[in-house]
Chains A and B, each alone.
Chain A
Amino acid sequence: MEVRKPHIKSIPYAEFKDNESLEKIVNELHEGGVDVFVGSLDQAINWGRSNSLWSLTFATSCCGIEFMAVGCARYDFARFGFEVTRNSPRQADLIMCAGTITHKMAPVLKRLYDEMAEPKYVVAVGGCAISGGPFKGSYHVVKGIEEIIPVDVFVPGCPPRPEAILYGMMQLQRKVKIEKFFGGRNRKEKKPVVVTNVPEDFNK
């Protein structure tokens, strides 16, 4: 059988950026019995991503037990798309850093963060992860994990109530929802090299 080779008419670029012509095309398609809807791909990606954030089970102390409670039936973070927790950093989207980070643990946390695949997020749960909390005066406690890895959301409390942890996780979802997959952090454009402290006699 002969394979038909239809000629596909391309949409002129100007029309593609024009809402009216897009709506006209959608209407034509609807009339022809085709179900379509138009939206931006970024939104679709962010919708999917923000509702399937899987966290690494990273609990060093007390906050970890509250994190377990959030995962269980009464609070149940699966309702918001935090379906499961992952034990391997390579499968996780975010670190819920629940608990104190000590000097001995700091390199481990850094390594776990480095092992995760992009895009990755960090939620600092509890006073210890935010600033050292009640152990700020100790000789062996890191005063906030932000010194080691970038943090997206802080959840204060000692330990935070499960409601607070849920709220913090939903804040992260909001943050994910306004990201730009195209043109944003994924565009591999080289940053312009900015040279400061140029010596004054450079061009002479």
Chain B
Amino acid sequence: MKLENIQFELNVFAAEMAKLKNEKHFDFLVTIVGEDFGEEGLGCIYILENTKTHERMSVKAVNADRNEPYIPTVMHLWKSAEILEREVYDFFGIKFLGHKDMRRIYLRSDFEGYPFRKDYDMSADNNRYVLTDDPEPDYTFEYNLDKDGRLVATKRPLFGDEDYVINIGPQHPATHGVLRLQTVLDGETIKKIYPHCGYIHRGIEKMCESYTYPQTLALTDRMDYLSAMMNRHALCSVIEEAMGVEITDRIKYIRTIMDELQRLDSHLLFYGCCAQDLGALTAFIYGMRDREQVLNVMEETTGGRLIQNYYRIGGCQADIDPNFVQNVKKLCAYMKPMFKEYRDIFTGNVILQNRFKNVGRLSMEDAISYGCTGGTGRAAGWHNDVRKNHPYDMYGKVDFDEITYQNGDCFDRYMVRMDEMEQSIRIIEQLIDNIPAGDFYIKQKPIIRVPEGQWYTSCEGSRGEIGVYLDSKGDKSPYRLKFRPMGLPLVSALDDLLRGEKIADLIAVGATLDYVIPDIDR
């Protein structure tokens, strides 16, 4: 969608945002995009959704002062803003007035400068690494304006004197990557979790700003490698939408089928890892065994196992393999009895039932407030499927159910994914016989330029809404490209989810939230 930003003055910003939320029911903060607007100053674009009508809008806030930029916080309105504003602070140095915990989240605490500003020096000499430990402070700052309009910092401690703190990660098998959870414990009970991200922050968004559009595509697959197709789909869609490229039905069919195969792949891995985290190695091996079958089918067309690099602007890299249709049908026939096997071997298991049921409950209000899309939100009863709410490609025309549960506990999150696999097979079966003839690629100019403007498009990834914000100045590379990570809201919700639970349940909750760290850190 092309963004028509409403701009509010900073002194009325918080009040106007509260009005939008409370009166117009824009209760889902999709993402906050920090941006260096150049002459205009530094600022943010807030993308909001009304969860009843699924209407979306965007709000812009800019501060012209580049030395001490500030914007009032919205973390009291949307809980997801807490971590999103920290991200903006980390990359742009915008201080959010009234934010309770204004620390860096991705970069080291002794990092100098704000890398996403346009005047940041990217040269290797300016960016050296050190092998000493990060001198992490055990306090944080809250910024506010005093009577004269100057920024004042209030220092707050992060821990009490009696607190027992352990670090889970960054090298821990159950965090599914390099995430660090600084956990404050009272005996075995969790009191507070401070997530620390950025151990795999590669600065993809910043790199994209110096790449041409086709070059940016290569990096998307490496963010969330388990929804590589959808990441790329979202980026291709936003560029195609901005350029006004109409893709053929054949491309739409292929993309829909590939997305669903990817979802199947991701959920099978989820099933396997979930089992492994609970100590059920057999189920893990079963999940991986069937995942290989899915990979076989994709590999024959795309040539890649994990990172396929298949979509491109205006279509796909290559036409589908001659055996593709037959292979997909074989896969569907193979997979269907397997779902029963998964239920028999793992879902009904008494250990799983005890460790998942009523553990780590997330209410629907919290899911919306944190912006936990995907299976996590749907397990809490929130109808957030992008495929249903904002249909793209063939999703408006195929028949499938949006799986929702009511409890929002670990078991429901697990079941949502198990049921979604069956729906994926259902979608694929409806499409596979009817792939129409036509072009698999619509030829584009050698140098792709996108007209001026701001766009936001999203797809349903494997674990939530993957959105791409594109700001173009009519150049051959994007002015700002921002991905809405699927996992970041899940990590920010961890603290609420786990407060008062036992530390052993952290593993179960982490397993069912199914976050992928390179997607969070980008």
B207 and A135 form a contact (CB under 8 A) = yes
A107 and B202 form a contact (CB under 8 A) = no
User: When chains A and B are docked, how far (Å) is the Cα of A100 from the Cα of B204?
Assistant: 12
Stretch from B124-132, B148-156, B502-510 that touches the partner: B124-132
User: When chains A and B are docked, how far (Å) is the Cα of A135 from the Cα of B122?
Assistant: 13
Partner of A69, one of B199, B204, B288, B518: B288
User: When chains A and B are docked, how far (Å) is the Cα of A103 from the Cα of B207?
Assistant: 16
A148 and B177 form a contact (CB under 8 A) = no
Q: A139-B122, A139-B206 are in contact. Are A104 and B132 (CB under 8 A)?
A: no
Is residue B481 contacting chain A, with contact meaning CB distance below 8 A? Answer: no
Is residue B219 contacting chain A, with contact meaning CB distance below 8 A? Answer: yes
Is residue A129 contacting chain B, with contact meaning CB distance below 8 A? Answer: no
Residues of B within 8 A of A100 (CB): 200, 202, 518
User: When chains A and B are docked, how far (Å) is the Cα of A89 from the Cα of B171?
Assistant: 10
Give the contacts of A108-140 with B (CB-CB under 8 A): 108, 110, 112, 134-135, 137-140
User: When chains A and B are docked, how far (Å) is the Cα of A184 from the Cα of B130?
Assistant: 33
Give the contacts of A29-86 with B (CB-CB under 8 A): 57-62, 64-66, 68-69, 72-74
Partner of B199, one of A73, A105, A110, A161: A105
Is residue B473 contacting chain A, with contact meaning CB distance below 8 A? Answer: no
B306 and A65 form a contact (CB under 8 A) = yes
Interface residues of chain A: helix, strand, loop or mixed (majority): loop
User: When chains A and B are docked, how far (Å) is the Cα of A141 from the Cα of B199?
Assistant: 10
User: When chains A and B are docked, how far (Å) is the Cα of A58 from the Cα of B203?
Assistant: 21
User: When chains A and B are docked, how far (Å) is the Cα of A140 from the Cα of B207?
Assistant: 11
A104 and B226 form a contact (CB under 8 A) = no
Residues of B within 8 A of A104 (CB): 106-108, 134, 198-199, 201
B222 and A134 form a contact (CB under 8 A) = yes
A138 and B206 form a contact (CB under 8 A) = yes
A102 and B225 form a contact (CB under 8 A) = no
B131 and A61 form a contact (CB under 8 A) = no
Is residue B402 contacting chain A, with contact meaning CB distance below 8 A? Answer: no
> B289 → chain A, closest Cβ, in Å?
5
Residue of A nearest to B202 (CB): A135
> A43 → chain B, closest Cβ, in Å?
34
Interface size class of B (residues with CB under 8 A): 35 or more
Residue of B nearest to A72 (CB): B288
Is residue B344 contacting chain A, with contact meaning CB distance below 8 A? Answer: no
Is residue B210 contacting chain A, with contact meaning CB distance below 8 A? Answer: yes
Chain A residue total in the interface (Cβ 8 A): 41
Residue of A nearest to B132 (CB): A107
Residues of A within 8 A of B132 (CB): 107
Q: A105-B199, A107-B134 are in contact. Are A65 and B289 (CB under 8 A)?
A: no
Is residue B307 contacting chain A, with contact meaning CB distance below 8 A? Answer: yes
A59 and B198 form a contact (CB under 8 A) = no
Residues of A within 8 A of B173 (CB): 57, 87
> A13 → chain B, closest Cβ, in Å?
49
B115 and A58 form a contact (CB under 8 A) = no
Partner of A139, one of B127, B172, B200, B218: B127
A102 and B307 form a contact (CB under 8 A) = no
Residue of A nearest to B305 (CB): A161
B200 and A58 form a contact (CB under 8 A) = no
B129 and A72 form a contact (CB under 8 A) = no
Give the contacts of B302-329 with A (CB-CB under 8 A): 305-307
Q: A73-B289, A107-B131, A140-B127 are in contact. Are A59 and B218 (CB under 8 A)?
A: no
User: When chains A and B are docked, how far (Å) is the Cα of A161 from the Cα of B305?
Assistant: 8
Q: A58-B171, A161-B305 are in contact. Are A105 and B285 (CB under 8 A)?
A: no
Is residue B292 contacting chain A, with contact meaning CB distance below 8 A? Answer: yes
A73 and B198 form a contact (CB under 8 A) = no
A102 and B201 form a contact (CB under 8 A) = yes
User: When chains A and B are docked, how far (Å) is the Cα of A31 from the Cα of B112?
Assistant: 78
Residues of A within 8 A of B517 (CB): 60-61
User: When chains A and B are docked, how far (Å) is the Cα of A103 from the Cα of B222?
Assistant: 18
User: When chains A and B are docked, how far (Å) is the Cα of A140 from the Cα of B199?
Assistant: 10
Give the contacts of B251-298 with A (CB-CB under 8 A): 269, 284-285, 288-289, 291-292
A→B interface (CB under 8 Å): 57-62, 64-66, 68-69, 72-74, 87, 89, 99-100, 102-108, 110, 112, 134-135, 137-143, 148, 158-159, 161-162
Known: A61-B222, A105-B200, A138-B202. 16 other contacts (CB 8 A): A66-B306, A69-B292, A73-B285, A73-B289, A102-B198, A102-B200, A104-B106, A104-B108, A104-B198, A104-B199, A135-B207, A138-B203, A138-B204, A140-B115, A140-B201, A159-B306
17 sampled A-B residue pairs with Cβ under 8 A: A60-B178, A61-B200, A61-B225, A65-B225, A66-B305, A69-B305, A72-B288, A74-B289, A87-B173, A99-B518, A100-B200, A103-B130, A108-B171, A134-B222, A135-B203, A138-B203, A140-B202
List the 7 shortest-distance A-B pairs measured between CB atoms, nearest first. Answer: A103-B129, A72-B288, A62-B225, A139-B127, A61-B518, A138-B203, A135-B202
